[in-house]
Structure 1
Amino acid sequence: MNATSDIVQKLWGLCHVLRDDGISYLQYVTELTYLLFLKMMQETGAEETQLPEGERWGDLASKDGLEQLNFYRALLLSLGQDAASSRIQAIFANAQTAIKQPRILNKLVTSIDGLDWYSAKEEGLGDLYEGLLQKNAEEKKSGAGQYFTPRALIDCMVALMRPQPGELIQDPAAGTGGFLIAADRYIKQRTDDLFELSEADQSFQIHQALYGMELVQDAHRLLLMNLMLHGIESEVSEVNP
């Protein structure tokens, strides 16, 4: 088992901790996403430019008990309204935690802090998050399978379509972003991670080439997180019926 698979197993084990607080399978990954986002921002060094001082992983981890839970609730609200990045605001839009017991939150924070983040970064945080999404989709009780197409099927379809640099690639029902990420990976593998392209073409691939839409807000936030961890900054919209 590689480091990513091992961490995914440990993260999924935390879902059982959440279940002890009455949280359903449907809420599992959304709850973990909020915490994983904060931790991954710390691990990648992005929190210094993307998150306000006093609203970062270290601030959450330094607290305990009811103080930590109340701080976390206020943090979710603040990031959904006042984060510097519109993408971060979208990830935390209307975010609220269903965690009721301070000990449950403390267990999650401590366990996430204790994971092998060095190996996770070496193998790719995007792959780690994809693994967690797949684990959730395989759990029939979660109902998440409707947003997650098996990656083997996606890879087959992308290989048949053979997307090219410079093309606009759209997914009107993006789910958690599997097709967009696979298309991006396909192009990067054939362009030396885009380095064979001109600077202008690289910018297009990163910021404009991929476009997606998703109706369900919780799926939309998972989609945004997934794209961000794969270095994709193209727009993905939440469709309001």
Structure 2
Amino acid sequence: MRWLQRLLGGNKVRLDPARQQALVHEVRQRFGAHAPEPFPAQVEAITGLLKDDDGLVVASLIVGQVAEEAHADLRAQADELHRRTGRRLLVHRRNYRPLWKEAGPGLRWPLFALPCGFHPYAQLTAAVTAVGDRAARIDRVVDPGPLLTGLFEILDLTTAGWEYGRVPVDVDAATLADRLIGSTGRILTEVDDPPRLPPPVRELMRRNDALDVAGPGGPRPVGRINLGATMRERFLV
């Protein structure tokens, strides 16, 4: 693992845990659905705060925490559905799509109300942007394996939410998906032994359909996003 060898070697990365905690606090308190600025402005501001190695650690932490809490939320929802209906649902982190295909109308998309308070279109989009912008530093600062796992899980949740969870495909949602794909692709090119693409990604890469992207003022489309084509372009390098 090159990242661990470099952390233990002579070219040591200097990190400040106290500053990281302060960044987490600032990002959580200043930004999100309660902030007056639109999400794109928030993403730009947060990304500016996460532009160094401590920021990269914080961005990775945000991605990991969102992925963990989303999984816990879906497990709790599946348990509640089983208690009420007797239906037993499998919650598989490597592939959430079967769960959403089977129980989509009965599930709540978890990313809008996580205990951590990170909003998917503010803090999360900014964190995903930050890890992609600094992909060349990933293996010097954090373990890229769990980070990639978290990015793939959130990408799966995002696209499954569009298809089965009634999550609107608006500009902010499309931006999150595009940043997830772009940042994941950049990190994959930087790691020594990139993981195999998970099943939901491979499934979507076989498609070539484009989705309308609604504008901020209503359902009128302002563009289109082709997930399959974008993934093939970013992941097949």
Q: TM-score range by the shorter chain?
A: under 0.3
Q: What is the TM-score when the length of structure 2 is the normalising length?
A: 0.26
Q: What is the TM-score when the length of structure 1 is the normalising length?
A: 0.26
